[in-house]
Amino acid sequence: MKTKANRLELGLFLGLLMPVLTFFVFYLFLHNESGIVEFINEVIVRQVSTQVISLCAVPNLLLFFVFIWTDRLYSARGVLTATFIIAFVVLILKFVL
């Protein structure tokens, strides 16, 4: 059944948005005393960007299972695709750049 909540595009969008929101939560809890730009620079200077990106992708697991449990398989496929995109970006950052 193809409803508005069971679309590949929705899962892809939410799968890419969730890590960004998770990054902002990390910022709020870990480094609230300075700006977001300083926090991003610190992540880059400490060379932990791949680890931070990987951790930010973990909540996609919850989103994936919510879509599976509610029988929204196309949306779950979109979340899985977004997670693979993030993993590919991490691999490029870690081994190529």
Give the tens place of pLDDT for each residue, 37-85. 999 999 999 999 999 999 999 999 999 999 999 999 999 999 999 999 9
Q: Judge whether 3 lies within some domain.
A: no
> Could you tell me if residue 1 is inside a domain?
no
Domain that holds residue 53: 8-95
Distance CA 96, CA 91 (A): 8
Is residue 85 domain-resident?
A: yes
42 inside domain:
yes
Domain membership flag for residue 65: yes
CA 69 to chain centre: 20
- The dihedrals phi and psi of 87, each to the nearest 5 degrees, come to -65, -40
- Predicted TM-score (pTM) of this structure: 0.88
**Is residue 14 a contact partner of residue 63, using CB atoms and an 8 Å limit?**
yes
